[in-house]
Amino acid sequence: MKRLLVAGNWKMYTDPAGAGNLASRLKGSLGSCGWADIAIFPPFTSLAAAVDAVRGSGIAVGGQNLYWENEGAYTGEISPSMLIKAGCTMALVGHSERRTHFNETDSMLNKKIKAALGAGLHPILCVGETLEQRESGITEQVIEKQLMADLDGIDEIEPIAIAYEPVWAIGTGKNATPEQASDIHKFTRQLIGRKWGEKAAAGIRILYGGSVKPDNAGALAEKADIDGFLVGGASLKADSFEAIARSFK
């Protein structure tokens, strides 16, 4: 049986001292979590502090981004091997903020996924629609296009987790209802089943990300096709992240 996954994306917050303190607190409360895998994604400058703080626990640390080459004249980028040497085992790929603010295309994300897998990292691939796309009734078409393009040429997808994050519900205070989230998770699993087979569909973890907070996590966690959360702002406070993780207990 697959384990649930609760991941915290710290975005461009925390300095090394703050990251170390937060990670230490999480190690104490969730370091031996029996009901879910726990992962945190600090900024690059805080990776070392977070890795040191959770050492010896079950908490994974990942990079918020990566480039598809291992080295070269790519100023400002970070490679899969650099993440691994920093102590990371995971990486985020295709977060809506990367797609929107930094114009990352599906072709670029496909290269990043392949590079992460080739290096032994476990990627979380983010997909989701804008408010305009949802109101136009094309949410499913958007998700299918992103998934098929981002995972093109990848035969084994079990090491990958998918995070459905409706763009209109990220940092806006708006929330997809549990039913809306569950419908897209179910649709996503069906897509995976048709392309990669029912075993892959049953085994892959599909997370929900979109203004997840302690007060809505419980209702979302009850849905069968939601295998965990990708948490943004609420992951920056130990109490709220712990409460979200415990919603699956």
165 carries an active-site annotation: yes
Q: Which tokens hold the place of 76?
A: 């400002």
95 carries an active-site annotation: yes
Between the alpha carbon of residue 206 and those of residues 19, 22, 35, 53, 224, the distances in Å are 26, 26, 16, 28, 11
Between the alpha carbon of residue 178 and those of residues 62, 167, 186, 209, 238, the distances in Å are 27, 16, 12, 12, 24
95, 104, 129, 242: which is the annotated catalytic residue?
95
Q: Contact 46/19 with Cβ under 8 angstroms?
A: yes
What is the rounded distance in angstroms from the CA atom of residue 95 to the CA atom of residue 80?
Answer: 17
97, 129, 165, 242: which is the annotated catalytic residue?
165
Q: Contact 17/49 with Cβ under 8 angstroms?
A: yes
Residues designated catalytic: 95, 165
